[in-house]
Amino acid sequence: MATITSPASLWIRLAALVYDSLVVAGIWILGTFAVLPLTGGVGVTAGMPWYRIYLFALAALFFVGFWCRAGQTLGMQAWRLRVRSRSGGRLMITQGVVRLVIAWVTLGLGFLWCLIDPERRALHDLVAGTEVVREPRSQ
């Protein structure tokens, strides 16, 4: 029997993003501690270009890794959201990367597309060929 899902609303997506932001902040803190020995104990600042790239890479690995492997991040899991390809299958890595890049390049404004799209897809979902659905409560 197929599981019935519904398109995820903007507000639920944003709630999941708040959860994920907290997780990413924790990853960044741990990641910062991990590079301190490489800098000779000298503190790192957000103004260092290599450090910005490093933090972006950590966040990208978190999001793309969870989207492609499990179909959901920890925040999405808490709100019963799942990202999948339009065919219903798991995301390919290229879809995950495109989704992430479009979301970040548009500074998150692509989420507003959910308000006018009949299937509640964000701009990054349209470009990547993905959709975010809300799963029913488990019985």
Q: How far apart are CA 41 and CA 130, in angstroms?
A: 43
**Mean pLDDT across the chain:** 94
**Per-residue model confidence as pLDDT tens digits over 51-108:** 999 999 999 999 999 999 999 999 999 999 999 999 999 999 999 999 999 999 999 9
Structure tokens at 68: 């492609």
Residue 64 CB coordination number (10 Å): 20
Q: In the prediction, which pLDDT does 138 show?
A: 79
Q: Which residues pair with 84 in a beta bridge?
A: 131
pLDDT bin (cut points 50, 70, 90) of residue 2 is low
- The pTM assigned to this predicted structure is 0.92
Structure tokens at 93: 């890595």
Whether the predicted pLDDT of 139 surpasses 70: no
Amino acid (1-letter code) at residue 42: V
Q: In the prediction, which pLDDT does 40 show?
A: 80
Residues in the chain: 139
**3-class secondary structure for 85-106?**
ECCCCCCCHHHHHHHHHHHHHC
Name the percent of the chain lying above pLDDT 90.
84
